[in-house]
Structure 1
Amino acid sequence: MRILLIEDESELANWLARSLARHGGFTVDWADDAELAERRLAVEEFDAIVLDLGLPGMNGHEFLRRLRSRDDRCPVLVLTARDAMAERIGSLHEGADDFMQKPFAIEELEARLHALVRRSRGREHPRWMLGDLVLDIGSQRFLHRDAPLALSPREYAALKVLMQKAGEPVTKQQILDRISPDDTSINLEAIEVLVHRLRKKLTDTGAQIVTLRGMGYCLEPADHGPG
């Protein structure tokens, strides 16, 4: 699950990124101002945004208003240092989905982020189920006929982005960004090997990964039923 953290306090941002990655399995990208965040959102996709309201330059309120005016529906959790009812209500009216007051417990932030993403996509969204293949967001596992599918962390991350965009093309770069945004030990060519392994593991699941030349890969229903 990929999170965009918009926070100008570097010490807090580094702690949040490490904690969310270690305990919640999140990939956290950090922007220290709203203008940079807007540029990232124009070319990248995220599952949720964690937003500090007290940003330099464009503040969090203005960022929220501009985000929703573009009809960008990425869920946003607001962080605020103030216990002001008016500010919290205002942020909800501007398009925030949830808010937390500093200081907070990292476990609660993780739980709220998972809940936000589940609500934004829907538990029964068709992209979460294809043939007999099911992505269980709660347990962060793929299931085949109720049995866990044995996947490495990289295989899971790659298959997850393909499942979330089932029926749509996914580029090698999009897969690479999800599985190892800061790891230079894996390159675009390695994605081909990863997809090859996934294809073998998807045998008889009713789902298949097809190659769209010049575009990337697409997860689709298998040409024939399981078995």
Structure 2
Amino acid sequence: MSDGPWTPEGAGPDPRRHAPATMRNRDAIVAVLQDELPATGLVLEVASGSGEHAVHFAVTFPALDWQPTDPDPAALASIAALRSDAALPNLRAPLQLDAAGAWPVDATDAVLCINMVHISPWAATLGLLAGAARILPPGGLLYLYGPYLRDGVETAPSNLAFDASLKARDPRWGLRRMEDVIAAADAEALIFDRQVEMPANNLSLIFRRR
């Protein structure tokens, strides 16, 4: 089954949140990123959620600086708490960033976005693509991870059920056609490089700035 949205757990003053899918997918994502990320530089993560991916990636790629972001104040609080626990010199304080709005980062060497495209309005994806194109250098990486519909490929029943549940929560949400994302990226001078089959019926989509 595809990864669901991160869910705040528990109550009380502890801001830390846990996204169960993070533990399941993070090493598979790292295996792809090892071949795609630059050796050094700044990586911007859009929609960092709980912050667990950001901590794991900062540990795994110590030569890269990691900038987590999210539009949700609860997510930002979780990221900040986990960052304090980890005390990593290459993990920056989280920034508030709405993919469809203004971006607080002017330049980066790579952009990552995990499990946002289907759990947000289409305008957020368009904003993500436009923002990435604006701040990436030529050849810079845009990495997307999540479930997608694909022309000519039968959609897994679990993904169909997940799509229906997302649309029931918000009609603006839902699985996107990979071909639509690629076309929108191309319009922003982000060239589709390749796709990688991932666990639980997810995909990694690799784009490069023209």
Is TM more than 0.5 here? Answer: no
Greater Rg by CA: 1
Q: Counting helix residues as a fraction of each chain, which structure ranks higher?
A: 1
TM-score bracket, shorter-length normalisation? 0.3 to 0.5
